[in-house]
Homo-oligomer: A and B are copies of this chain.
Amino acid sequence: MSLSDTHITLAHGNGGRFMRELIDEIFARHLANPELDVRADAVTLPLNYDTEREDLLFTTDGFTVQPLEFPGGDIGSLAVHGTCNDLAVAGAMPRYLSLNAFIEEGLEVAVLERIVQSLAQAARDLGVRVAAGDTKVLRRGEGGGLYLATTGVGTKPKSVQLGMHCIQAGDTVLVSGSIGDHGIAVMLAREQFGLSGDLQSDAASVLPLTQAAVQVDGLRFMRDPTRGGLAAVTHEIIQATGLGVRLMQGSIPVRDPVTSVCEQLGYDPYYLASEGRVVAVVAPERAADVLAAWRSLAEGEDAAEVGTIEATASHGVVLETELGGERILEELEDDPLPRIC
């Protein structure tokens, strides 16, 4: 038995020779970088940041997407993008990641290797290094194939001050592109409900978008609308600020395949996950600057102004329909699409 094996076995998790081979031949080989030392208990991060002018930022995320590979991405690239995006929307540059893999007995080694390669490529593209990792093997029937967790360390200029506490009535709400592509692409990849299609997930790094936006004074807050989508982000703004949010349905970019699936299944695109979009709140007089910066990037060509922050709180997000009516987007309760990220 070795990695000439085609499938993961419990022995790949036991601290002995097979685990060492799994780590060396799959993880260390593809993720190789000067900091990663798979024999060390802990590694030194040579961050060399200016502690007077920069802050150290920290975040973590878990990934359980099913299927593990989907049009436009896989759980590996998603585990890099998801965590680095959380640093990016906080205004930081991602620097280092840790990686935990919970691998189910029986997973094909070839699938695991493709996913680790994709993860390594996503990290290289972002200039981020996986400096620490751990693998556990779960018994067949206890794992769902593969779960990943990544923790990210980044640095941010102290001069960049973003947060919900910066949001003011009258501010403008922007999105960097169409919403819900990730949720529907993953759903279609499952071939549930007899539906299929070739919609690509939007899963990607948002770092070019966030780094462009932080150049603009008047940027208040950014977030990537993952679980719970645009509705969840705007609900959190209401809860944190006591202000209201009004969204203009006609301005929110939604791709035709997303609209079509939503109509067939009764889903609401505002609750669907994106994995490569940014929602930003900007002072109204500077919104056009962020929009122009985003539209000049490939990642932001469909960016749009989609709503405003209102002084009056309501119990939900107000969605103004194209005919001038109003709907309230309630906070999400049931779960249309589990294991979406």
Please give the residue numbers on chain A whose beta carbons come within 8 Å of chain B beta carbons, in ascending order.
10-11, 13-19, 39-45, 47-48, 51, 55-64, 86-87, 89-90, 92, 96, 98-102, 131-139, 141-144, 147, 149, 151-154, 156, 163-164, 223-224, 226-229, 232, 236, 240, 273, 331-335, 338-339
Query: A332: nearest residue on chain B (CB-CB)?
Result: B16
Taking A58-B96, A60-B151 as given, write out 15 further A-B residue pairs in contact, using a Cβ cutoff of 8 Å, ordered by the A residue number.
A11-B335, A14-B228, A14-B334, A15-B273, A16-B333, A42-B58, A44-B156, A48-B51, A60-B134, A62-B101, A64-B136, A102-B102, A132-B151, A137-B338, A141-B141
Number of copies of chain A assembled together: 2
Main SS class of interface, A:
mixed
User: Which 10 pairs from chain A and chain B are nearest by CB?
Assistant: A15-B228, A16-B332, A15-B227, A151-B151, A14-B335, A60-B98, A142-B144, A42-B59, A100-B149, A42-B90
In the assembled complex, which residues on chain B have CB atoms less than 8 Å from the CB atom of A138?
64, 144, 147, 339
Knowing A16-B228, A227-B14, A335-B13, say if A134 contacts B61 (CB, 8 Å).
Answer: yes
Report the separation of the CA atoms of residues A89 and B99 in the bound assembly, to the nearest whole angstrom.
Answer: 20
Query: A18: nearest residue on chain B (CB-CB)?
Result: B333
Q: Are A149 and B134 in contact (CB under 8 A)?
A: yes
In the assembled complex, which residues on chain B have CB atoms less than 8 Å from the CB atom of A42?
57-59, 86-87, 89-90, 92, 152, 154
Q: Are A335 and B10 in contact (CB under 8 A)?
A: yes
User: When the two chains form the complex, which single residue of B13, B19, B48, B59 contacts A98, counting CB atoms closer than 8 Å?
Assistant: B59
Q: Are A58 and B139 in contact (CB under 8 A)?
A: no
In the assembled complex, which residues on chain B have CB atoms less than 8 Å from the CB atom of A136?
62-64, 147
User: When the two chains form the complex, which single residue of B60, B137, B224 contacts A133, counting CB atoms closer than 8 Å?
Assistant: B60
In the assembled complex, which residues on chain B have CB atoms less than 8 Å from the CB atom of A51?
48, 51
Chain B proximity of A207: nearest CB distance (Å):
13
Report the separation of the CA atoms of residues A151 and B136 in the bound assembly, to the nearest whole angstrom.
Answer: 15
Knowing A14-B335, A90-B41, say if A56 contacts B60 (CB, 8 Å).
Answer: no
Query: A337: nearest residue on chain B (CB-CB)?
Result: B14
